Every structure is written in C-alpha cells, then in structure tokens.
Amino acid sequence: MYFYGKSDTGKVRAANQDNYIIHSLCRNSTLCVVCDGMGGAKSGNVASECATRVFVDKVARYAAPKISSEGILKITSDDACVILDNAAHDANIAVYRKSQSSADYQGMGTTLVAALVCDDIVYVVNVGDSRLYLISDNTITQITHDHSYVQHLIDSGSLSVEDARTHPYRNRITRAVGIRSELETDIFSVDLSSLDMCYLLLCSDGLSGQLLPEDIYSIISSDLDIDVVTDVDGELSDKTERLIEAANAAGGPDNITAVLVKYTGADDAAHTARR
C-alpha cells in the first residue's frame, strides 16, 4: 500500500477549512481521514482540525489492544465497526463541546470520511458529503453515500444526478460531526484481495463537486511517464496534483483535499505515507 495526500485552499476561499491525516497504526494497517469544516473562517478549520486529531487518536487507542507484539493488527469486521464508530462519536463530542465553549465556535461542524486499511480489507466510515471512491477494473465506484439534501432528493426520485450538480442547495448536508451531541455514522467495508491493483480516493466536496466521476477516473487511471515500480510516491503525488489542478481549473470555489491510496496486490505488505 502507498499513500499520498494534499490540501489546497482553492481559487475563492481565503482560508482552508479542510484537514487530513495519514497515520500508520502498525505494520499492516494505516488510517486515512479527510474532514471538511464549516461554520465560518473562525471555526470551520477548528472543527476539522479537532475532529481529525481526536478521531485518529481514538482509533489508535481502541486498536492498540488488538496489535500483536509483531506489530500486526488483527481485527474482525465487527471490531472495525466498533472502533470506527466509537472514534467518530468521540470526535463528535469533542467538536460539539468546543462549539459550546465560545460564541465564535457556535454552530461549527465538519464532515468526516475515513478509511482504516488493514491488509486487504478497507473499513470506511463517513458523515456528511466527503467521499471515498474505489478505482479498479476500468471503473470508478463511490463507496460512501452522501448525507446531503440533494442526495435525499436523488434517493427519493425527485432529482436527477445531473440536476443535483447545479441545485442551489447542493452544498447543504444533513449530517455533520459536532453539530449535535449525538451522531449517526455509515460504515462500509471493501475487500481488495481479488484485485491485482486499485486506487482509493478520499476527498472533500471541493474536489467531487467540481469533477465528474469520469474526470476523476481519467486522471487516476492515466498512464504517466513514471516508473511505478520504483517511484509510486511520485506517481501518487503527480495524480493528486492533477486532481487538484483540475478542480481549480473548474473554478475552485471551495477548499480541495485529496488522499490517494494505491493497492498493488495481496502480496504487497509495504506501507508508505506522504503528505
């Protein structure tokens, strides 16, 4: 596994309220998190920074008893669900309490999408409209499900996917970390063991809102003049940069964050992290 992430302010916003972390838990497990804060310049960045930090700290704490002396994380699907859900709830309480501590912070919140990559299984949790995509076998698949007003309309058959992209309420989310004392999460798992190679993309809506899935697929699946065997970091860096450049070229109205993961087969135990 190889990991790379980058965040960009975009072309319109004065400050970056996105936050991300790539954290190696142990030899066979890495945690990736992307949060997109909201609540104004004074608090959106506070919410996203608090959520990412607390979430990563809690996942590491809850996973620690299941890491062997050889540095191998051994968990079941149920274990992963409990770890991710509990950590998300802890992050929610931390942001919510901070929002009550100052008038500047009232009403702040953040999206959260995270991937716990353990061997060939990816466990995913999301709240809000930050996304995780799987790019494999000539396709791009959105693994997460947006918690947004337009997604609700799409699900009910009242709005098409095409019309959702220009809907005046397309940025209105229906769930967020830190808005209330209680939190509802969605958790997914993806088994990569049957794949020879694939990519995972975690991103804020500053990217997914400006680029169609086929645009994302085209950039990530493109052949570059890079020796992918010896320079996977360079490949991921280049593709991440190109994703952000494309979102900016489309207007860049929001902060843009992308974390790109490359899986190169069940026999590849290498983990690297770059940011």
Within 10 angstroms of residue 227's Cβ, the number of other Cβ atoms is: 10
Q: pLDDT of 265-274, one tens digit each?
A: 755 554 444 4
Looking at residues 199-223, what average pLDDT do you find? 94
Residue 186 in this model has a pLDDT that exceeds 70: yes
Residue bearing the bigger pLDDT, 155 or 237: 237
* Residue linked to tokens 């999206």: 111
Q: Which range among 103-112, 118-127, 155-164 shows the weakest confidence by mean pLDDT?
A: 155-164
The 8-class DSSP code of residue 234 comes to H
Looking at residues 76-80, what average pLDDT do you find? 97
Domain ranges in the chain are 2-274
What is the reported pLDDT for 109? 96
227 CB contacts (<8 Å, ≥6 apart)?
none
Report the C-alpha gap between 141 and 213 in whole angstroms. 8
Q: What is the pTM of this model?
A: 0.92
| Domain made up of 2-274: CATH architecture | 4-Layer Sandwich (3.60)
